[in-house]
């Protein structure tokens, strides 16, 4: 009798495993580079046109108060994809190779964890940080070579985005070629992002017997802002609204906060002096609309498969972006423009279409959220907190603020109402978003907020790992 039962079990095991795989949800993981809150559903700019991101939001839950773990590509992406905060790993800037650090030894990235648990993992475009040289993006970059069943471009090949103006910089700036924008003559699918999305479309259409984790990295609106004319036409230059600013905005912030990273204040000075502020805003809005069109293609491709009802969809931006606020362009600050990001999750059977929550959350929360939604164990090293309770009940309350770190030992905490920042030199900033959504009035010096600051300060990291790696030679 025992032999018979064993035989039956042997015969049924593949069937049971196949049934288990069929029940597991697929994952479509969409990363959009340098995307701030200038999307329709977040209202960061009244002229943003992102109908596809908005229709994705209508399918699931939008986290209107989501923030990045850092404010530059490599530390932000490394943190959320590995599960370790910058203050734990020491990855604070773009140059460190996280794969060389003992801090990550033996710890699976989110993709590797899903692959180890029976998922077929497919990726394309900028997922981990990718270095760009001479306009050629190397999407191998700092990728996890153990994480993928297939990756496009291959981990040994570069994808040239050769659709660019003949004269660079096309906007006439005297400061370099990276901060540039221009109309280009090209079809969407000839541009690097179009090639990435085309590959993902083909993977979505393919039949498979196992659950899939598909990651799509969209490069725009990362600089340079080279997109076809039709996207500029969506945002007529004469109608462009500039972001709200005030004179002497930086008078009440610490000296350390006035530092210029990536020549951000120099770019602002040139833009104001040359009268190109509206042009820059138009180019960013156009590039965001182009990225939105890529998102639309991905959603359409998923819908054609008939598997959307069993697919978790996540869309996120890796950090925000200044376009003149705080007298800056680009990123790398601990203000709202640089930390706030879009985060939308569709979790069939868990999320309710068209819901929102203003609870402060972090991109660090994505790793444990995805494992919980997929029914997998969460590795013990992961420092985020699952968003599943908020996805299930958008009215739920969270007491943990969102933490952003940049650079070493400089941290900012965001709650539903406040932002509290403590810089490496001990100086502080405090903003009340209920009365000051633009962070124009620093309240940190007012003694009536001492108790609030002390209560928030307990969330600052107790450990600040030494910075990993040395900056490259110039």
- Model confidence pLDDT, tens digit, residues 175-218: 888 899 999 999 999 999 999 999 999 999 998 788 999 999 99
Q: Is 101's pLDDT higher than 60?
A: yes
* pLDDT band for position 154 (cuts 50, 70, 90): low
Q: Which of residues 302 and 208 earns the better pLDDT score? A: 302
Structure-token match 């000839």, residue found: 190
CATH code linked to domain 24-400: 3.40.720.10
- b/e map 428-438, b = 16+ CB within 10 Å: bbbbebeeeeb
pLDDT digits (tens, 9 = 90+) for 224-243: 999 999 999 999 999 999 99
Q: Which of residues 56 and 266 earns the better pLDDT score? A: 56
Q: Is 160's pLDDT higher than 60?
A: no
Q: Of the listed 45, 73, 222, 319, which one is catalytic?
A: 73
* Alpha helix (H) residue ranges in 261-341: 264-274, 277-305, 336-339
Instruction: Give catalytic status of residue 73 as yes or no.
Output: yes
- E strand residue ranges, 320-410: 322-323, 329-330, 340-341, 343-346, 355-357, 361-362, 402-405
> What average pLDDT is seen over the chain?
91
Q: Of the listed 45, 67, 129, 319, which one is catalytic?
A: 129
Percent of the chain with pLDDT over 70: 91
pLDDT digits (tens, 9 = 90+) for 2-31: 454 444 444 443 433 344 455 899 999 999
Q: Is 151's pLDDT higher than 80?
A: yes
Yes or no: say if 227 and 180 are a contact pair by the CB < 8 Å rule.
no
Instruction: Give catalytic status of residue 433 as yes or no.
Output: no
Percent of the chain with pLDDT over 90: 83
Domain spans in the chain, listed from the N-terminal domain onward:
24-400
Q: Is 139's pLDDT higher than 70?
A: no
């Amino acid at each position: 009798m025992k032999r018979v039962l064993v035989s039956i079990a042997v015969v049924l095991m593949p069937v049971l495993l196949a049934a288990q795989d069929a029940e597991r949800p697929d994952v479509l993981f969409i990363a959009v580079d340098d995307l701030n809150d200038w999307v329709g559903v977040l209202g960061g700019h009244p002229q943003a046109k992102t109908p596809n991101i908005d229709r994705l939001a209508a399918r699931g839950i939008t986290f209107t108060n989501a923030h990045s773990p850092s404010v530059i590509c490599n530390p932000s992406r490394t943190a959320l994809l590995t599960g370790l905060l910058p203050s734990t790993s020491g990855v604070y800037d773009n140059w460190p190779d996280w794969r060389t650090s003992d801090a990550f030894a033996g710890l699976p990235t989110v993709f590797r964890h899903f692959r180890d648990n029976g998922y077929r993992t497919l990726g394309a475009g900028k997922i981990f940080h990718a270095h760009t040289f001479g306009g050629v993006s190397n999407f191998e970059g700092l990728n996890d070579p153990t994480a993928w069943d297939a990756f496009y471009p291959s981990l040994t090949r570069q994808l040239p985005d050769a659709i660019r103006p003949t004269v660079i910089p096309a906007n006439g700036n005297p400061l370099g070629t990276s901060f540039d924008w221009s109309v280009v003559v090209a079809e969407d699918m000839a541009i690097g992002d179009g090639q990435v999305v085309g590959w993902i479309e083909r993977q979505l259409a393919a039949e498979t017997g196992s659950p899939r984790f598909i990651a799509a990295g969209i490069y725009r609106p990362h600089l340079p802002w080279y997109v076809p004319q039709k996207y500029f036409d969506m945002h007529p230059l004469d109608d462009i609204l500039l972001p709200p600013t005030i004179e002497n905005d930086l008078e009440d912030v610490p000296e350390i906060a006035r530092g210029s990273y990536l020549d951000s204040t120099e770019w602002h000075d040139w833009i104001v002096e040359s009268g190109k502020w509206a042009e820059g805003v138009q180019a960013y809005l156009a590039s965001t609309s182009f990225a939105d069109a890529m998102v639309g293609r991905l959603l359409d491709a998923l819908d054609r498969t008939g598997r959307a009802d069993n697919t978790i969809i996540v869309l996120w931006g890796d950090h925000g972006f200044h376009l003149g606020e705080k007298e800056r362009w680009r990123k790398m600050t601990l203000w709202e423009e640089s930390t706030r990001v879009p985060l939308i999750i569709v979790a069939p059977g868990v999320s309710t279409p068209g819901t929102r929550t203003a609870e402060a959350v972090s991109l660090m929360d994505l790793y444990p959220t995805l494992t919980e939604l997929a029914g997998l164990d969460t590795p013990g090293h992961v420092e985020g907190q699952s968003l599943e309770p908020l996805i299930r009940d958008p009215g739920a309350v969270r007491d943990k603020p969102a933490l952003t770190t940049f650079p070493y030992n400089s941290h900012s905490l965001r709650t539903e109402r406040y932002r509290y920042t403590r810089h490496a030199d001990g100086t502080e900033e405090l903003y009340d978003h209920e009365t000051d959504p633009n962070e124009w009035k620093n309240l940190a010096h007012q003694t009536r907020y001492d108790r609030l600051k002390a209560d928030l300060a307990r969330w600052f990291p107790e450990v600040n790992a030494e910075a990993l790696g040395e900056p490259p030679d110039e």
